[in-house]
Amino acid sequence: MKEPGRALSHKMQGANGQLQELIDIIALRASTAGVAEVQGVEDALRFVVDRICRHTGWPVGHVYMPAPDSEDEYVSAGIWHLEDTKALERFRKATEQTPLNGDVGLPGRILSSGSPAWVVDVGQEPGFPRAAAAKRAGLKSAVAFPIQAGERTGAVVEFFSREVMEADEQLMEAMVSIGTELGSAFERSREISMAQQAAELYRSVVETSPDAIMVTDLNGRVLMCNQPAATHHGAEGPEAMLGLSGFDFVAPQDRERAVENARRTLETGSVRNVEYTLVRRDGSRIPAELSASLIRDPEGQPRAFIAVVRNISERKEAEDTLRQSEQKFRTLTEMNAAATFVFKQGRLVYANSAAGAMTGYTVEELLAIDPWKTVHPDFRERLQQAWRATFEHPDQPPPSGFEVKIVRKAGEERWVEYSADLVEWEGGRAVLGTAYDVTERKQAEEALRDSEERYRVLYQDNPSMYFTVDATGNVLSVNQFGAEQLGYTPEELAGTPVLEVFYEEDKEEVARQLQLCIETPGKMAHWEFRKVRKDGEVIWVKEAARATLDANGELIVLIVCEDITERRLMEEELRKAREELEGKVERQMQRGRAYGLTFRELTVLHLVAAGNSDREMADKLGISPLTVSKHVANILSKMSASSRSEASARAVREALLV
């Protein structure tokens, strides 16, 4: 066995010169027209395998390459040189069915070491999974070498001989040289492929972007642009834009600022979300938002600007609509005599001038201080618990319809009647509250408990309506102010059923409430109903009543009546305004449901479209930047958008943010 091996080894020495010629051919063609005058790495490998087998007389040559879906596994590339296809078929199948990783078999040793390897007899080699198949095929010695592409092994090339051969150092060196030259070809091919992919990706982004994208030279002349850029400026196509000055597209009042921003971009590398008014070719104007970056050459020198321009007409219209709605709300509340405020996340975010007048603070001071500072200590803890429950439990309504004592800035204590409802305010859950100063009424109610003499004085002089009704519901007396408010004299009302001055549809409930009051002497009762003046005008009144005994021991009902018509009208206007605002929010939500967006995601989308960073959105929403990032990821996923700008543009285009 040794003599034939030595003879073959001597014969291989003669082949080394031919392999060196092959190395030179590979190096020359890899640096000019491509390895072996063929296109593609696989064709180059096939060329090399065939040439080496032809020069050495080896019957088998084969290539392993990385598996497409694995970082560590190598599989047969299907590149073979088989001297006798039929005789070697079983060995070929065994090879193609044996994926390799780690240090398994001959190719595995190459992967582990990164160096060529020579096996004198594969049948005697431990850990060679194809040993049986090789033995049946009559294969003995084997040699393999790696092809390094950068830091990774791009392929493993292996050859088999029918003779037992001792390792040939010159041949191994030749294999290393071939691997080096092919590795260079691999790396160049990879770089070319990556460059082509990058160019294709860039072209796809530019052509498919709904935003206008322009590249200009450092003087602002258009070098290239996409169709949306041409459309923005009223041009027929991108070709019509070439050579024009980008500054000419900017309205005169913004042009100086545009030049300054170009200078800033040159100095800092970019500008973000600057707004201009653009002038179209026909003279019409559109609001736009621009972000620009500097393009540098390989040496780092500035060469051009690239700008992304977004038409924000719809966003501006939506912002104007929202501003008008908010202004309408503020106008209504400023006209309202009731103190109106919005409570959100533990602080006041809105208060009208009446709220300032009621508390003795300016509106600015109210928005800056702890709102609980204005609540009397006797009521503070109970109210705080109720408000916490409101914000911790979505189905829990806010506390409403009660009276509470407040402390004015100067320390004066006042009573107010408070009502509230849940609203959406600037993208979050909030409480809209109204309060009326009822200190005078509370004082009047307190006066009811005083002596009869003091009661009679108060009865006539207080500017509130007072009635005394007997147990059958007839008016015993009414003060002058109360009679005048209804258009009567006290004499005209005395002795008449009190139900006669109430609105027809309310009479049944009034009778029930009055009877309940009579049946529970000493207990204060409250109700709101409509009354009809003598001239037919309907007014709303709020009454406090208590059944008691008069000086003769007869049961009477003392009633304090307050005209709340103006308040009810303002509440109705506020309700309509709130419904209008809620309707807009609901329409927005309905549009958002088409993408499965939650209200919070719509809020984040609105802030993204406005150009806010994650940190700015986190500060505005009171959440973490990580949570903001997760919301943005959900938005992009649900809207199948590849970027924030694409999602924002689609949201504006589809009126998701109105």
Single-letter amino acid code for the residue at 482 = G
Question: Looking at the predicted structure, is the pLDDT value of residue 301 above 80?
Answer: yes
Q: What is the CATH number of the domain that holds 150?
A: 3.30.450.40
Q: Name the most confidently modeled range: 13-17, 537-541, 604-608.
A: 537-541
Q: Which of 202-206, 379-383, 491-495 has the lowest mean pLDDT?
A: 202-206
Domain that holds residue 609: 594-653
- Both 266 and 348 in a single domain? no
Q: What is the CATH number of the domain that holds 643?
A: 1.10.10.10
pLDDT at 138: 92
Question: For residue range 553-577, what is the model confidence (pLDDT) as tens digits?
Answer: 899 999 999 898 898 888 888 888 7
Degrees to nearest 5, angle at CA 92 with 91 and 95: 85
Question: Looking at the predicted structure, is the pLDDT value of residue 547 above 90?
Answer: yes
- Both 433 and 446 in a single domain? no
Question: Looking at the predicted structure, is the pLDDT value of residue 618 above 70?
Answer: yes
pLDDT at 650: 86
Classify residue 618 by its DSSP letter. H
C-beta separation of 67 from 74 below 8 A? yes
Residue 577 maps to a domain: no
User: Six-digit token pair at 38?
Assistant: 């063929």
pLDDT at 180: 81
Alpha helices in 400-538 (DSSP H): 439-447, 452-461, 480-485, 490-493, 507-519
pLDDT at 533: 95
Please tell me whether the overall predicted TM-score, pTM, comes out greater than 0.85 for this model. Answer: no
Maximum Cα interatomic distance, the chain, rounded to a whole number of Å: 146
Mean pLDDT along residues 473-488: 93
Q: What is the CA radius of gyration of the chain?
A: 45
| Residue after which a domain boundary falls, among 143, 169, 194 | 194
- Both 136 and 55 in a single domain? yes
- Both 245 and 388 in a single domain? no
Arithmetic mean of pLDDT over the chain: 82
Please give the C-alpha separations between residue 413 and each of 212, 407, 420, in angstroms, as whole numbers. Answer: 62, 5, 21
User: Six-digit token pair at 584?
Assistant: 């807009």
Residue 202 maps to a domain: no
Question: For residue range 415-444, what is the model confidence (pLDDT) as tens digits?
Answer: 988 888 887 777 677 888 888 888 888 887
Q: What is the CATH number of the domain that holds 304?
A: 3.30.450.20
Question: For residue range 398-420, what is the model confidence (pLDDT) as tens digits?
Answer: 777 778 898 999 999 999 888 88
Question: For residue range 152-210, what is the model confidence (pLDDT) as tens digits?
Answer: 788 899 999 999 988 888 888 888 888 887 777 777 766 666 656 655 666 666 666 78
In degrees and rounded to multiples of 5, residue 230 shows phi and psi of -65, -40
354, containing H or E segment: helix 353-359
- Both 407 and 553 in a single domain? no
Question: For residue range 247-289, what is the model confidence (pLDDT) as tens digits?
Answer: 988 999 999 999 999 999 989 989 998 989 888 888 888 898 8
Mean pLDDT along residues 616-639: 91
Question: Looking at the predicted structure, is the pLDDT value of residue 455 above 60?
Answer: no
pLDDT at 30: 44
pLDDT at 256: 92
* Residue predicted with more confidence, 80 or 235: 80
DSSP secondary structure of 524-574: -EEEEEEEE-TTS-EEEEEEEEEEEE-TTS-EEEEEEEEE-HHHHHHHHHH
